[in-house]
Amino acid sequence: MRLSSDQQLRDRSLAERCFAVQALVVPFLVVYWGVCEYAQHSDALAGVFDERVLHVTQSVLVVHSVVWGALMALTAGFIRRGADGPMWLGHLTVQLYAVPNLYAAYLLGPVTSPFMVVMLGSGLLGLLIFPPRVAWMAVVTVSLGLVIPELLRLSGLIPYAPLLRGSPHDDPRVTHFWSGFMWFIVASVSALLTTLFHVLLEDLRAREAALSAMTRTDPLTGLFNRRHFMEQLVREHDRYARYKRPLSCMMVDLDYFKRINDEHGHAVGDIVLKETSKRLGLALRTTDMIARLGGEEFGALLPDTDIEGAQRVAERCRELVGATPVDIAGRPSVPVTASFGVAMLDTHTMPQPEDLLRAADAALYSSKGRGRNRVSISDAGLDPFDSDPV
């Protein structure tokens, strides 16, 4: 099951998540079967393992493989039908994953067994992949499966590591095999769990980035929203106070936008807004920041730009916005113009960040009052003067 960037593991249905875990377990079942076969027929390992327990273990592997295969087939059926999958499917998957690992930890001794790594890592990932109730039920199963055998061992009712007749480290012929097998379990499972954790972590980071973008952008135009604009205005105001580098603000308002909505409908109005945002973006530098402040009103912050430079930017934006009508599929194109107001920051007359915005807004309303489709410039928020359309 491929995990694409647009549909990560946690976005999949419960059945798909279960199937992913089920499929990852299959190679380990094959490897464990091969190890049991090797242990039974290797002369070097004679006397290390209890053959009776080894036979039982192999039988358990067979039974578990059959049940696991049936579970995969059942899960695949839910996926083919497009069903999310019932909660019991998640419980069954994690429980059938946990129980054999508990059995292996019991056979090899839980204290020195690498299956403790499997249990810990799998528990953490289970909490990320599955619903909390499913994961915590597995945690309960594992906890009981570790504590109860340990209590029975301390009571003398069962042996420790019943699969082993003696320490595999006592026989030099066995030591390399045993160490290699233990390292294989730890390394392979750790690599698997780390990969899954990486996938989930990237998923969480993508979600965090998407959520952050949602709080900063306007969903219609893709521009920044008013909230982010005001935050950036405060930062740029502080930067000006420290470094005294020029900062200008440009306000934009589409002319007669209500008439466009009334005559052509709001769907056409949305197209006009999106096209206007593209045209404004073409006229600005990468260092400038433009936002949709609400309705048909836009605002832009122009760092390191004096009032003359801001006027040139505004004129370029005005020309691009009104250069050609906005094409509407299957309908007549819509002519669009916009009015502009620009102001440059002066902390003596504009001690608060909002003062710069008010000055540019006052210049914008001057453009509206003087015939629209023009740029008006405010000198520190005082009596704005205008620039006639070219």
- What's the rounded mean pLDDT across residues 326-339? 92
DSSP labels for 180-227? HHHHHHHHHHHHHHHHHHHHHHHHHHHHHHHHHHHHHB-TTT-SB-HH
pTM, 2 dp:
0.54
**Both structure tokens of 374:** 């023009």
> What does 305-339 look like in DSSP terms, one character per residue?
--HHHHHHHHHHHHHHHHHSPEEETTEEEE---EE
Domain boundaries, the chain: 9-214, 226-387
Q: What is the per-residue pLDDT for 173?
A: 66
Place of tokens 């002066």: 346
pLDDT reading at 274 higher than 80: yes
Task: Give the span between the Cα atoms of 317 and 312, in whole angstroms.
Answer: 9
Residues 6+ apart with CB under 8 A from 296: 253, 254, 257, 273
226-387 CATH choice from 3.40.50.1970, 3.40.50.300, 3.30.70.270, 3.40.50.10140: 3.30.70.270
| Residue 61, C-beta contacts closer than 8 angstroms, at least 6 positions apart | 29, 32, 33, 36
Structure tokens at 368: 């509206």
Residues designated as active site: 296
DSSP state of 83: -
- For residues 123 and 138, give the distance between their C-alpha atoms in angstroms, rounded to a whole number: 8
The CA distances from residue 141 to 100, 105, 234, 323, 326, in Å, are 12, 14, 54, 70, 64
Evaluate if residue 8 carries a pLDDT over 60.
no
Give the Cα separation of 68 and 148 in Å (integer): 25
| Per-residue pLDDT at 18 exceeds 80 | yes
Q: Which residues of 59-93 are buried (b: 16+ CB within 10 A; e: fewer)?
A: ebbeebbeebeebbebbeebbeeeeebeeebbbbb
pLDDT digits (tens, 9 = 90+) for 93-107: 989 988 888 888 888
What's the pLDDT at 297? Answer: 96
How crowded is residue 38: how many other Cβ atoms within 10 Å of its Cβ? 13
Give residue 3's pLDDT. 40
Alpha helix ranges (H) inside 81-114: 87-108
CA-based angle 54:56:60, to the nearest 5?
115
Q: Which carries the bigger pLDDT value, residue 170 or residue 262?
A: 262
Give the pLDDT band (50/70/90) at residue 34: confident
